[in-house]
Amino acid sequence: MSEIDNLISQRKQKLEELRKLGVDPYPYRFSTTHAISQIREKYGRLKAEEKTAETVSLAGRIMSLRKMGKASFAHIKDETGKLQVYIREDVLGERNYQMFRRFDIGDFIGVTGKVFSTKTGELSIHAEDLILLAKSLRPLPEKWHGLKDIETRYRQRYLDLVVNEQVKSVFLTRSLIIKAIRKFLDKSGFLEVETPMMQSIVGGAAAKPFVTFHQALGIELYLRISPELFLKRLVVGGLEKVYEVNRNFRNEGVSTRHNPEFTMLEVYQAYSDYNGMMDLCEKIILFIAREVLGREELVYQKSKISLGRIPWQRFSLYDLLKKHTGLDFATIRGLSEMRKAADRLNVKYEKDSPSSKVLDHIFEAYVQKNLIQPTFVLDYPTGFSPLAKAKKDNPGLVERFELFIGGEELANAYSELNDPIEQRKRMETQVRERETSEGKETKVDEDYLRALEYGMPPCGGLGLGVDRLVMVFTNSNSIRDVILFPQMREETE
């Protein structure tokens, strides 16, 4: 029997002994009067050996135990903090103390008693009554070894949260960031909406979807790769400022920057364009920094980043590529020439990669790592952005930007194409290219084109990657560090 199996066996034995004592090891509820943080706030100034008259009830998980004959100590932890518990047999009574002797680290307990400060000044609760709320049959890990246990941390996030305070802090920050996003947009007159997560036609981005089948309708459906086309339908319908904090799904690779299921903010505003979206993007992220961090500066991967220097720097895509590679990509035409450029720069790419993907690889290898301070990269090739409006003075480019902070791509935005005839041409070209590369029949979204034919006003659209934003704000190394339950390969024995 392994050590862990032996420990589990011992705890199961204690479980049976507790039941024989008439203890229900999994009762239904326990009423508390305070959270631990409230006790610390209220009584944190008690002098050594001073005791309160108030009786309080707390609940939490046992994180440490010192059993010493007729008097013992424990520390319990709830969501808000940790507190010492002092347990005496002459106060609890023999039966209840025998019950306590069968408690283990990891058990959830409820404790009622008076708050006091020990001789050494440690705030504690003198237990007058104890109740077992849940018996833990598996021991908590005694130590956490960082990268050595990285797979276990992601698979067993519940353990990660128990033993690693920094992890809990990351996810509390994530929640605050999402609340701040909603607060800013709601105050700015945007309407939060919900759009379908199952779609009959793949649209809104170039990505491989997850496929499912609806039995009752007898049709194949796709988990959405983007809500874009549905949100723009709402702009057609007269909802001029809309947003969705949405879950998207892309059947592609897993890495430190990619998870098949991820969270995006998408915003659409009538009568705006990509310049308006740049201003909005600056305001949203700066508001989040002030609201959540209380400052305009942060540190990401050892780089100090200043968000308060508005406006953020703006460069064209081709200018940045020329600066960092020495090649003029404005003159490169077609997939063959793009691959030759990548080969010349020793940039690897997949054999079936389209020109846009090859260019992405080149950009990542030579440019992206240098974009530490907030930077808008502007004006992408028209063929790479079928939903964006062409520039007036250069129809070979579209009004599109991507935002980079700390070398991470955080946002993507367009002046949205609202010419239904041009949009049809671009969609039909995109469909032909997909059918050629994937060997599978795809469709133009006829209903979206019909919506455009009713008229969509000038419109700016912004997509902001929430997971990556949380990475930057919490100085996290991987997207898996900011997603509670990231997708993992099947666990092996």
State percent of the chain over pLDDT 70.
Answer: 97
| From 127-136, 137-146, 278-287, 373-382, the region with the lowest mean pLDDT | 137-146
Q: What angle do CA 279, 280, 282 make, to 5 degrees?
A: 65
pLDDT tens-digit map of 363-403: 999 999 999 999 999 999 998 899 999 999 999 999 999 99
Give me the sign of the Cα torsion angle 232, 235, 241, 246. Answer: negative
Structure-block tokens of residue 395: 């129809």
State the chain's mean pLDDT as an integer.
Answer: 93
Give me the sign of the Cα torsion angle 207, 213, 216, 217. Answer: positive
Instruction: Specify whether the backbone of 389 is left (phi greater than 0), alpha (psi in -120 to 50) or beta.
Output: beta
Residue spans per domain, the chain:
3-134, 155-312+373-481
In eight-state DSSP terms, residue 388 is B
The pLDDT of residue 109 is 98
Average pLDDT over residues 422-441: 79
Average pLDDT over residues 260-283: 97
pLDDT tens-digit map of 30-55: 999 999 999 999 999 999 999 999 99
Structure-block tokens of residue 390: 């062409």
pLDDT tens-digit map of 60-94: 999 999 988 899 999 999 999 999 999 999 999 99
pTM of the model: 0.92
Closest CA to 408 of 473, 339, 454: 473
The CATH code of the domain at 3-134 is 2.40.50.140
Instruction: Specify whether the backbone of 290 is left (phi greater than 0), alpha (psi in -120 to 50) or beta.
Output: alpha
Class of domain 155-312+373-481: alpha beta
Distance CA 313, CA 374 (A): 7
Q: Is 60 exceeded by the pLDDT of residue 147?
A: no
